[in-house]
Chains A and B, each alone.
Chain A
Amino acid sequence: MKNEWPLWEVFIRSKSGLSHKHVGSLHASDAEMAVENARDLYTRRNEGVSIWVVASKDITASDPDDSDPLFEPAKDKIYRHPTFYEVPNEVTHM
């Protein structure tokens, strides 16, 4: 349908101090309308203090088929985590 309004992804900051979080999508003909529709659809109960909208077509996502090469290599690098290291009990503030 040529007159269908494009799809937008919506991100809401629920309160100051938190990041914007993806909440869903909606349709709108332009960016201003997308923000307004997002306000009416996703913040009816005071759920937000800030809204981002991104045209869905502009989002590049990683491919689940690539998830092994992308994410597996990080799994065994346990030396990146503090629990990998032993610190004597007497030593504090570390």
Chain B
Amino acid sequence: MKNYLLQLADNALILGHRLGEWCGHAPEMELDIALTNIALDLTGQARSLYQRVGELEGASSDGVSKTEDDYAYLRDVWEFRNVLLVEQPNGDFAQTIVRQFIFDSYHFYMCRALTQSTDEWLSGFAEKSLKEITYHLRFSSEWMQRLGDGTEVSHAKMQTAIESLWTYSGELITPNEIEKELASQGIGVDLNKIKPEVTAKISEVLAASNLTAPEGIWMQKGGKDGRHSEHLGYILAEMQFLQRAYPGQAW
């Protein structure tokens, strides 16, 4: 259970972190605000999940419970369980939108299914998050179409982005052992069940955006089990700098 929640939390934290990198540098000022809003939603979701993990773990032998920040700031690369997609660099705005859209498509159907979880805390969390994610998916789907079906330049950039990120799309809807286990207990989401919805949504938006999914691409995976791309180390080095350099301080 703990590792399942960490998967969900780490996805939200790392993608939120990436979106935060845009703040002040987006293609239009209105987009600075929009991307930051999504970053705020995701980081907020990560907080709730880490807090819940802390509750479930309870106090250690010395009577201290872990805080949300212990999970975010004091674990190393192999302990993070986010998918490879969310740690990929922002690249240009096309890369950011494609990454967001692929993730949102998974996130939306996953979260909708999670509202049916037999775990009361999780279903409540999913209810609340689903409202936020519904908006994210709407935002990224619209931008897929604006850029995919905009100018020749934007179309080319989007097609390139899809081709470079597609290899990370499979991991989202391929269950690992933890997900299989939790799905069998009715706590977690059965990814095989939502897979058709996710792929249908992606196909529908790609078609409307005049974009094509590449075929015969090898699907990378491993993030959910702590085997990451080289990018995550740099994200953590930056994110965890103060907590690592000055351990145990209040900020």
Direct contact of A and B (CB under 8 A): yes
B residues 1-56 touching A (CB-CB < 8 Å): 28, 30, 33-34, 37
Cβ-closest chain B residue relative to A30: B146
**Nearest CB of A to B9, in Å:** 24
Is B139 engaged at the interface, CB distance under 8 Å to the other chain?
A: yes
Is A20 engaged at the interface, CB distance under 8 Å to the other chain?
A: no
Cβ-closest chain B residue relative to A37: B30
Instruction: Kindly identify which residue among A30, A33, A37 contacts B33, using a CB–CB cutoff of 8 Å.
Output: A37
Interface flags, A25-61, vs B, CB<8A=1, else 0? 0111110110011001100100000000000000000
Q: Report chain A residues within 8 Å CB of B33.
A: 37, 40-41
**Nearest CB of A to B86, in Å:** 22
Where chain B touches its partner, the secondary structure class is helix
**Nearest CB of A to B39, in Å:** 12
Cβ-closest chain A residue relative to B35: A40
Q: Report chain B residues within 8 Å CB of A36.
A: 34, 138-139, 142
Residue pair A26, B30 in contact (C-beta under 8 Å) = yes
Q: How large is the interface on A (under 10, 10 to 19, 20 to 34, 35 or more residues)?
A: 10 to 19
**Nearest CB of B to A90, in Å:** 59
A28→B28 CA distance, assembly (Å): 10
Q: Report chain A residues within 8 Å CB of B28.
A: 5, 27
Residue pair B34, A40 in contact (C-beta under 8 Å) = yes
**Nearest CB of A to B19, in Å:** 13
Cβ-closest chain A residue relative to B32: A40
Q: Report chain A residues within 8 Å CB of B34.
A: 36-37, 40
**Nearest CB of A to B250, in Å:** 28
Residue pair A40, B142 in contact (C-beta under 8 Å) = no
A29→B37 CA distance, assembly (Å): 19
17 contacts between A and B (CB under 8 A): A5-B28, A26-B30, A27-B30, A28-B30, A29-B146, A33-B30, A33-B146, A36-B34, A36-B138, A36-B142, A37-B30, A37-B33, A40-B30, A40-B34, A40-B37, A41-B30, A44-B37
Beyond A27-B28, A36-B139, 12 extra complex contacts between A and B, CB < 8 Å: A5-B28, A26-B30, A27-B30, A28-B30, A29-B146, A30-B146, A33-B30, A36-B138, A36-B142, A37-B30, A37-B34, A40-B30
